[in-house]
Amino acid sequence: MAQVKIKVNDKIPENLYFGVLNDNEEEPRKIDSSEVFKGKKVVLFGIPGAFTSVCSSKHLPQFVQNYDKLKAKGVDSIICTAVNDPYVLREWAKAHNVGSKVMMLSDGEMSFHSALGLTQRLPFAGERGLRFSMFVDDYVVKLLNVEEPGALNYKISGPEHMLKQLEELEKK
CA gap 59, 132 in Å, rounded? 10
Share of the chain above pLDDT 90, in %: 78
Sign of CA dihedral 7, 49, 112, 19: negative
Q: What domains can be seen in the chain, in order of their start residue?
A: 17-171 (3.40.30.10)
Residue 25 pLDDT exceeds 80: yes
What is the model's pLDDT at position 126? 66
> pLDDT (tens digit, 9 = 90+) per residue, 114-161?
999 999 888 777 678 899 999 999 999 999 999 988 778 899 999 999
| From 44, 55, 64, 98, the catalytic residue | 55
55 is catalytic: yes
* Helix (H), strand (E), coil (C) string for 12-64: CCCCCEEEECCCCCCCCEEEEHHHHHCCCEEEEEEECCCCCHHHHHHHHHHHH
